[in-house]
C-alpha cells in the first residue's frame, strides 16, 4: 500500500511538472483526485489495512494527497501567469484599430488660406506686422492727424506707458491693419503688391456683428498708372473666386481719410439672395433687410499717404482695400453671429 502511494505521488508530480496548460492539469487532477481517481480509490482501501498500521498508512495517504494538491496549485498559478503574459505580448494584427480623433482647420483659418492663395496667384506678397502699434503708423501716416474726427470711429485701446519713456497715447493696440501701409511702403519702392492679414482691436460693445478683436486682410498696390478700374477689377476677381463666380457686387462711394475716392463694396446677401426677404415672407435680418452685405472698404490711396513714405505722388498711384475676414466667413457659411467664430464648442466647429 505504501509503495503504491509513493508511486502515485511520483507519477502525479512528474505529470504535473510536464503539463503545459490548464486543461492538462485539470485532467491530471481528475485522474488522481477525482471521484474515481487513483488516489481516491486507494483511500477507500485503507479500511483493509490491518488496524495497527492503518493510522500510519492513513497519514501517508493524506501527505500524498497534500503534496499532489499543492504541486497542482503551484503549477496552475505558473501556467496561468504564462498564459496571460503571452496574451500581452501577442499582437492581433486583425483587430480593428482605434481611430485617433482628428480635428480640422477652423473656418476662419480656411478662409484666410483661400484669401492668401488667391492674392498670391495675382502677384501679391504677404506681410505681417505688430499688433501693438504706434499712433504714427496706425493714424498719422494714414492722413489721420491727432485731432481728426475719424479717430472717434475707431475706439482705440491705449497702452499704459506711465513707467516708460514713451509719451502717453503713443502706443496702442492697432485698430486697423492699414497701419502696415506705412511700414511696408517705407521699406519697399514701387511696384508694391502686398496683403496683410491680422488682428485688430477696438473698444467696442460686443454683439452679433461686432467684436472687440476682429480679423482684416489689408491689401494695397502701388505702381505707375494704377487706377480705380484696377481696384474694381481686383475686387471683382477676388470676391468671385472666394464666394463663387455668380456673386453679384456693387460699389458705393464712402469716406476714409487715407483714400480718395473711398469705395464701399457690397455683395448680394448670401442668405436672401438679394431679395431682402426670406421665402416665408419675413424680412432678412442677415443683411438688415437691404439685400446687400458690406464686405470690403477700399479706395485710391491718398497722396498724403504716399508722400509720408517718400513716394512721388505725381509719378505713382495705388489702391488699398480691407477685407473684413470675420465678416467674409460669416457670409460664406451664413452664420448670423460673429461670436460663433471664437466659440470653442465642438458642436459648432464640427459643422464646418
Ligand atoms: N482700415 C479701415 C477700417 O478698418 C478700412 C479700410 C478702408 C481699409 C479703406 C482700406 C481702405 O485699405 O482703402 O475701418
State in Å: Cα 323 to ligand 1 middle: 8
Query: Both 24 and 127 in a single domain?
Result: no
Domain CATH number, residue 195: 3.30.930.10
Ligand 1 atom, smallest distance to 142 CA: 1
Candidate of 153, 183, 238, 297 to mutate for ligand 1, largest count of ligand atoms within 8 Å of Cβ: 297
Does residue 259 have its Cβ closer than 6 Å to ligand 1? Answer: yes
pLDDT at 207: 85
Domain housing 11: 2-90
* Span 3-28, pLDDT tens digits: 888 898 999 889 999 988 889 999 99
297 lines ligand 1 (CB under 6 A): yes
Quickly state the pLDDT bin for 223 (edges 50, 70, 90).
Answer: very high
Does residue 185 sit in the same domain as residue 42?
Answer: no
For residue 168, how far is its CA from the centre of ligand 1 (angstroms)? Answer: 25
Strands 171-173 and 292-301: unpaired
The per-residue pLDDT of the chain, averaged, comes to 92
User: Does the Cβ of 133 fall within 6 Å of ligand 1?
Assistant: no
- Model pLDDT for residues 142-188, shown as the tens digit of each residue: 999 888 888 887 899 999 999 999 998 899 999 999 999 999 999 99
pLDDT at 101: 86
pLDDT at 79: 85
Query: Do 50 and 111 belong together in one domain?
Result: no
Asked if 321 and 296 touch (Cβ cutoff 8 Å), the reply is yes
As given in the structure block, the three cell numbers for residue 349 are 466647429
Three-state secondary-structure class, residue 90: coil
CA of 321 to the centre of ligand 1 (A): 6
Residues 172 and 31 both lie in one domain: no
**CA–CA gap between residue 132 and residue 119 (Å, rounded):** 26
Residue 88 scores a pLDDT above 80: no
Q: Is 322 in the pocket of ligand 1 (CB under 6 A)?
A: yes
Residue 314 lies in a domain: yes
| Same-domain pairing of 128 and 238 | yes
Residue nearest to atom 8 of ligand 1 (CA): 322
Q: In the structure grid, which three cell numbers stand for residue 276, read together? A: 431682402
pLDDT, residue 320, reads 98
> Does the pLDDT of residue 228 top 90, yes or no?
yes
Ligand 1 pocket: which of 258, 262, 304, 326 to mutate (most atoms <8 Å of CB)?
A: 258
- Looking at the fold, whether 200 and 74 belong to one and the same domain comes out as no
pLDDT score at 211: 85
Query: Ligand 1, atom 7: nearest CA belongs to which residue?
Result: 297
298 ligand 1 Cβ < 6 A: yes
Cα–Cα distance, 236 to 261 (Å, whole number): 18
41 and 143 belong to one structural domain = no
Is position 97 within any domain?
no
Question: Which of 231, 256, 302 for mutating ligand 1's site (highest number of atoms within 8 Å of CB)?
Answer: 256
Q: Residue 265: what pLDDT?
A: 97
Domain boundary among 90, 123, 156: 90
Which atom, in ligand 1's list, is nearest to the CA of 319?
13
Instruction: List the residue whose alpha carbon is closest to atom 11 of ligand 1.
Output: 298
Helices in the chain by DSSP H: which ranges? 2-18, 22-33, 38-45, 51-89, 107-121, 135-138, 180-187, 228-243, 303-308, 325-332, 346-349
From 321, 323, 326, 327, mutation site for ligand 1 pocket: most ligand atoms within 8 A of C-beta:
321
| Shared domain check, 175 and 34 | no
Tell me the pLDDT tens digit for each residue of 45-68: 888 888 888 888 889 889 989 999
The predicted pLDDT at position 240 comes to: 96
pLDDT given for residue 181 in this prediction:
98
Write the CA distances from 20 to 10, 74, 128, integer angstroms: 18, 13, 71
Atom of ligand 1 nearest to the CA of 219: 12
Per-residue confidence at 274, pLDDT binned at 50, 70, 90?
very high
Hey, is 49 helix, strand or coil? coil
Band of the pLDDT at 325, cuts 50, 70, 90? Answer: very high
For the chain, first and last CA: distance in Å? 86
Judgement on whether residues 203 and 82 belong to the same structural domain of the protein: no
Lowest mean pLDDT among 123-137, 177-191, 208-222: 208-222
Residue 31 corresponds to which cell in the numbers above?
A: 485522474
Residue 346 predicted with pLDDT over 80: yes
pLDDT band at residue 324, thresholds of 50, 70 and 90?
A: very high
**Ligand 1 neighbourhood includes 330 CB (under 6 angstroms):** no
User: For the chain, what is the domain count?
Assistant: 2
Among 59, 90, 121, the domain-final residue is 90
Q: Ligand 1: distance of its center to the CA of 239 in Å?
A: 17
d(CA 46, CA 43): 5
Q: Are residues 250 and 279 in the same domain?
A: yes
pLDDT of residue 208: 81
Cα separation, 294 vs 235, whole angstroms:
13
Residue minimizing CA distance to atom 9 of ligand 1: 298
Closest ligand 1 atom to 153 CA: 14
> Does the pLDDT value for residue 210 go beyond 90?
no
CA of 105 relative to ligand 1 center, distance in Å:
27
Amino acid at each position: 500500500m505504501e509503495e503504491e502511494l509513493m508511486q502515485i505521488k511520483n507519477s502525479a508530480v512528474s505529470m504535473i511538472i510536464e503539463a503545459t496548460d490548464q486543461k492538462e492539469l485539470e485532467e491530471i487532477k481528475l485522474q488522481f483526485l477525482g471521484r474515481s481517481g487513483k488516489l481516491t480509490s486507494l483511500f477507500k482501501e485503507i479500511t483493509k489495512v490491518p488496524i495497527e498500521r492503518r493510522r500510519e498508512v492513513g497519514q501517508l495517504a493524506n501527505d500524498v494527497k497534500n503534496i499532489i494538491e499543492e504541486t497542482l496549485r503551484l503549477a496552475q498559478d505558473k501556467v496561468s501567469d504564462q498564459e496571460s503574459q503571452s496574451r500581452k505580448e501577442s499582437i492581433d494584427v486583425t483587430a480593428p484599430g482605434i481611430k485617433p480623433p482628428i480635428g480640422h482647420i477652423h473656418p476662419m483659418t480656411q478662409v484666410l488660406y483661400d484669401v492668401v492663395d488667391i492674392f498670391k496667384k495675382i502677384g501679391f506678397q504677404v506681410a505681417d506686422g505688430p499688433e501693438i502699434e504706434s499712433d504714427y503708423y496706425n493714424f498719422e501716416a494714414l492722413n489721420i492727424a491727432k485731432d481728426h474726427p475719424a479717430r472717434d470711429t475707431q475706439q482705440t485701446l491705449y497702452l499704459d506707458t506711465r513707467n516708460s519713456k514713451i509719451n502717453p497715447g503713443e502706443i496702442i493696440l492697432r485698430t486697423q491693419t492699414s497701419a502696415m501701409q506705412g511700414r511696408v511702403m517705407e521699406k519697399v519702392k514701387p511696384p508694391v503688391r502686398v496683403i496683410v492679414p491680422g488682428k485688430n482691436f477696438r473698444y467696442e460693445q460686443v454683439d452679433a456683428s461686432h467684436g472687440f478683436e476682429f480679423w482684416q486682410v489689408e491689401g494695397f498696390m502701388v505702381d505707375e498708372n494704377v487706377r480705380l478700374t484696377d481696384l474694381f477689377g481686383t475686387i471683382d476677381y477676388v470676391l468671385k473666386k472666394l464666394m463663387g463666380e455668380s456673386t453679384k457686387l456693387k460699389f458705393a462711394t464712402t469716406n476714409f481719410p487715407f483714400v480718395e475716392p473711398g469705395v464701399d463694396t457690397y455683395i448680394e446677401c448670401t442668405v436672401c439672395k438679394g431679395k431682402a426677404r426670406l421665402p416665408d415672407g419675413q424680412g432678412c435680418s442677415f443683411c438688415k433687410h437691404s439685400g446687400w452685405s458690406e464686405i470690403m472698404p477700399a479706395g485710391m490711396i491718398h497722396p498724403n499717404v504716399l508722400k509720408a513714405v517718400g513716394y512721388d505722388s505725381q509719378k505713382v498711384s495705388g489702391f488699398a482695400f480691407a477685407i473684413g475676414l470675420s465678416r467674409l466667413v460669416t457670409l460664406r457659411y451664413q452664420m448670423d453671429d460673429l461670436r460663433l467664430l471664437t466659440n470653442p464648442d465642438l458642436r459648432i466647429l464640427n459643422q464646418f
